[in-house]
Amino acid sequence: MLQSSLVSVEIKGDVAWVTVNNPPVNATSTAVRQGLSDAVDAVQGTRVAVLCCAGRTFIAGGDMSEFDAAPVEPHLPDVIQKIEDSKVPFVACIHGNALGGGFEIAMACAWRIAAPDAGFGLPEVNVGLIPGAGGTQRLPRLVGMQAAIDMACFGKTLKAEALAELGGIDLVAEDPKVAVPGFVAALPARPIPVSQRSVPEFASDLLETSRQALQKRAKGQQSPLENLTALSWVSEPFAEGQPKERARHLALRQSAESRALRHAFFAERVVSKPALIKGATARDITRIAVVGGGLMGAGIATAALNGGLSVTLIEQNAEAASAAQERVESLLRGAVNRGRMSEAQLRDYLFKFKAVDGYAAAADAELAIEAVFEDLSVKQAVFAELARYMNHDAILATNTSYLNPLDIFAGVENQARCIGLHFFSPAHVMKLLEIVHMPQTSPDTVATGFALGKKLRKVSVLSGICDGFIGNRMLAAYRREADYLLADGALPYQVDAAMRAFGMPMGPYELQDLTGLQIAWANRQRNAATRDPNERYVRIADQLCEMERFGQRAGKGWYRYSDGDRTPVRDPEVEALIETYSAEQGIIRQRFSQQDISSRILAVLANEGALIIQGGIAENTEAVDMVQIHGYGFPRWRGGPMNYSKEIGIDVSHAAMLTVADENPGSWRIANHPGGL
């Protein structure tokens, strides 16, 4: 019997059981690779070896903490080849997930037995990489090129039964370990090693059509295309394609894209555990009330139902409650129509949901979230009513985007239970949840907010109190610099094109038209009295609102729109308005290149993020980056504005911000040089 801290071998008769035990996901660290290599030697002399894993999953990937260092022997491709070449054949016994290096190991085994819910994939594309141990060379030979493209280029994960239909799994069993003895007792003839198989025929234009689809979807990210190129190497012998794959994998580890995506991967874990909740106890919330059944309230209710909670939605009258009921049912029915929910699940969700008029229905809720108009008096009235009926320690949460929670909760007893839970629309789709704490908010309440966010499958980020919190404060700065560029010479389509070229899904003016110009206008009006008189203020957006150009729903905003068509069309009226505004202000309009535009806007974002951190509103750069990625469409493969500023050089970003400040005297506060952030 071979026993190490991470890999053990136990001989039972003529069967060797090899077990990996490297929690939490049995990653292929250096020690695991060495243990597997030693295990291959140890099983020689037996009839068959069974590779399984302790804990909740099979091997679910590589150890990314090692990716910034030079590779250390034994290298994973060599270990995998040793498994495939072993005189004693291996059976992979799979539960949980076999991802990345874990799937590559499984493909090197002679047979694969898996639980029905086991997941298989090559998610390296999500961290800017291609597989590095034969994944792109074995997978097409095992399941065909189309499935390989889906998994390697698009990051698709397949369940065991779907993979079995493609020939990638030999046996699907409820309990793979229980099924192993019967399988090895009547062991089938050893198949041809996957690396030596021919690739099943595929359409001659598959690679090219896939490349076009990837280019459209990737929005500048290169790793999907890198994976497609690697898959094309299966036209060569495995002995030639696999070393090429390995070399490219190692080179991509050092790319800006991979560094950014790995930063985002780890940042999601960092923000889930802010220092404030260390040692705090979270409540297990099962019943919530949502006040307000509009688009936001219905979205929050749907997200909560998807998270397994019981939901009571409260409206001001029976008619509004009926409309809210229909709105939530429509959102759930849409999930059924898209195949993301079964009819049985729909019935279960609707059993746990009710829309009513009257606050008394919130009496048994453990947490209530208001999603009403962005009006202080309205929100205060909501919480006064909720406090009448709910338990003294029930959590009260505001979904405000801009208003100060201290004002909203003024007069509410036991403010330790009060918190901001700022969802982003549509709330059942968008992953970001800003959790806003007041000085009075208890750590246990904050911890409960994070636990709820996890149930709702959100990326939760802690924020302190300021106007707009983290996300909308940065959005205001983003839009302000974009407006300065308009006044000084750019046009909306040029600003939008520059930001799309950077990787944003849409530019600031397309986004404003999509979401509507009214809310930002109302917020500017609210802040008018306290605005620094030295700050440059561009009124073009206000003029559009005064002309009732509120965006797509109005058929016109920064662009114009045809009935039933959301495609933005340049509008001469708007462009003339902009040029007239510049002339009235005595501005000589200048030309800006796409690089000029994006560098200024990105510098503003990084500067505002640094100010937010230095002011204690955000805990760290990871918090700022996650808000931007998950709430505002900042390209994940850029890592967020703070990561991007580090990637191009803090000095470069800081210099661009100084240029912006010089162009707009008195309008910007410059963060302390953020080199230490």
Residue 4 is predicted with a pLDDT of 65
Residues 511, 515, 521, CA angle at the centre, nearest 5°? 100
- State percent of the chain over pLDDT 70: 99
Residues 370, 400: Cα–Cα separation, whole Å: 8
* Mean pLDDT, rounded, of the chain: 96
pLDDT in tens, 137-175: 999 999 999 999 999 999 999 999 999 999 999 999 999
Comparing 580 with 673, the larger pLDDT belongs to: 580
Per-residue confidence band for 1, with pLDDT thresholds at 50, 70 and 90: low
CA gap 77, 104 in Å, rounded: 9
pLDDT at residue number 63 = 81
| pLDDT digits 0-9 by tens, 543-596 | 999 999 999 999 999 999 999 899 999 999 999 999 999 999 999 999 999 999
pLDDT (tens digit per residue) in 581-594: 999 999 999 999 99
pLDDT for 363-392, tens place per residue? Answer: 999 999 999 999 999 999 999 999 999 999
Give the span between the Cα atoms of 471 and 238, in whole angstroms.
Answer: 48
State CA 60 to chain mean position distance.
Answer: 19
Tell the CATH superfamily of the 2-254 domain.
2-enoyl-CoA Hydratase; Chain A, domain 1 (3.90.226.10)
Structure confidence at residue 673 (pLDDT): 62
Q: Is 595 helix (H, G, I), strand (E, B) or coil?
A: helix
Q: In which band, very low, low, confident or very high, does the pLDDT at 676 lie, cut at 50, 70 and 90? A: very low
- Judged against a pLDDT cut of 50, whether residue 101 lies above it is answered with yes
CA 176 distance to own-chain centroid = 32
What is the fold, at CATH topology level, of the domain defined by 285-463?
A: Rossmann fold (3.40.50)
To the question of domain 471-676 being in CATH 1.10.1040.50, the answer is: yes
Beta carbons of 172 and 115 less than 8 angstroms apart: yes
Residue 447, CA atoms < 13 Å, CB-side half-sphere: 13
Greatest Cα pair distance in the chain: 91
Active site residues: 104, 124
DSSP string, 419-475: EEEEE-SSTTT--EEEEE--TT--HHHHHHHHHHHHHTT-EEEEE--STTTTHHHHH
Distance CA 504, CA 497 (A): 9
pLDDT digits (tens, 9 = 90+) for 188-247: 999 999 999 999 999 999 999 999 999 999 889 999 999 999 999 999 999 999 999 999
Residue 67 pLDDT: 84
3-state SS class at 81:
helix
Residue 353, pLDDT > 50, answer: yes
- For the stretch 420-456, pLDDT in tens is 999 999 999 999 999 999 999 999 999 999 999 999 9
Domain regions of the chain by residue span? 2-254, 285-463, 471-676
Report the pLDDT value the prediction gives residue 596, as an integer from 0 to 100.
98
The residue whose two tokens read 């009214």 is 518
Residue 9, helix vs strand vs coil: strand
What are 112's strand-pairing partners? 92
- Residue length, the chain? 677
pLDDT tens figures, 178-191: 999 999 999 999 99
